[in-house]
Amino acid sequence: MIPIDPIAYLSQYLRDHCDETISLDDMARITGYSAYHLQRKFKAALGVSPKQFQARCRMERMKSALRHNQPVTTALYEAGFGSASRLYERVDSDLGMTPAQYKARGKGIEISYVILGTVLGKILIAATDRGLCSLQLADRESELRAALQLEFPAAQLTETLAPFVSPLKDWQEAIEAFVAGKTLAAGLPMDIRATAFQATVWQYLQTIPAGETRSYAEVAAGIGHPTATRAVARACASNPVALAIPCHRVIRNNGELGGYRWGLNRKQRLLELEARDTDTRPASP
């Protein structure tokens, strides 16, 4: 029997069976689509291929096991990684640090940060050698330092003075350009960790053009989970990198702002800035 919503059904099936090897032909039989159409519909809905989605779910399960103090070897095999080498192939792209470091909550990781004064208040930009790991907004520098310490309690945190080096320098220049009215540069490296669902939501948010908004329901529908509006809201609230992942562009169905981790006044200011910059931007020839 073909499910009412084949893509939503398959995504849940892959999440529940992430420790198994499921062929594209098997997925096609589950959904009733041809393999070709399944690939296209799944990626259109979730932004990743079925194989990539299952890999993220596998990594999510392993992270959960590590957070519950399972040994690394046990966690990786129970999550469905056939060998340690298969896991470490995905460390940079999916975990950002080694499993042992993740389990230790960043112990041994060096994080450099800088605090900027802008029209949006104080902005903290923090990066590892792999990319941006935290971008926070606040009224006071002390709030930002405390938040970073809470986020990475076991990491070595170093406040950096100019001249900066990459990737911190790249993000500092990108954020300063953004608050000056320019489009935030795309493609700069980030070192953030996410569940499969969070990653799907955050990837979708980055497709919302500056000057536009989407409702939580529209985001949920856009990623193929139309009933997951609350989960979308939670994913927005857990976004660790303001501006880089523009969760401020998501509002309630009735047009109200909804929540914002860094304050509703700041969310309103961001939307006003982006709307103004869009209105004054010259039209394409």
Instruction: Say how many C-beta atoms besides its own lie within 10 A of residue 36's C-beta.
Output: 10
Distance from C-alpha of 257 to C-alpha of 252, rounded to nearest angstrom: 6
User: pTM score, two decimals?
Assistant: 0.64
User: Tens-of-pLDDT digits for all 285 residues of the chain?
Assistant: 556 788 888 988 888 887 788 899 999 998 999 998 888 888 888 888 888 888 888 877 777 777 666 666 667 666 776 555 555 555 555 555 556 666 666 666 889 999 999 989 999 999 998 899 999 999 999 999 988 887 887 788 999 887 788 888 899 999 988 888 888 877 888 988 777 788 899 999 999 999 999 999 999 999 989 999 988 998 898 899 999 999 999 999 999 998 898 889 999 999 998 887 655 544 444
Those residues with Cβ within 8 angstroms of residue 120's Cβ, 6 or more apart along the chain or in another chain: 137, 179, 266, 269, 270
Distance from the Cα of residue 162 to its chain's centroid: 28
Active-site annotation holder among 57, 133, 236, 247:
247
- Tokens 């939503």: give the residue: 8
- The whole-angstrom separation of Cα 148 and Cα 216 is 27
| Region of 225 on the Ramachandran plot (φ > 0 left; ψ -120 to 50 alpha; else beta) | beta
pLDDT attached to residue 54: 83
**Predicted local distance difference test score (pLDDT) of residue 283:** 46
Domains in the chain, CATH or no CATH each: 6-103 (1.10.10.60), 110-179 (3.30.160.70), 196-278 (1.10.10.10)
Contact indicator for 186, 207 with CB cutoff of 8 Å: no
Q: What is the pLDDT of residue 285?
A: 43
The per-residue pLDDT for 89 is: 54
Question: What gap in Å lies between CA 104 and CA 109, rounded to an integer?
Answer: 10
Rounded CA-CA distance 62/75 in Å is: 5
Per-residue pLDDT at 27: 92
Catalytic residue check, 57: no
Classify residue 247 as left (phi > 0), alpha (psi -120 to 50) or beta.
Answer: alpha
Residue 83 CA to residue 62 CA, distance in Å, equals 13
Q: Are 128 and 102 in contact (CB under 8 A)?
A: no
Calculate the CA 231 to chain-centre distance. Answer: 14
Beta strand 110-118 with 121-128: parallel, antiparallel or unpaired?
antiparallel
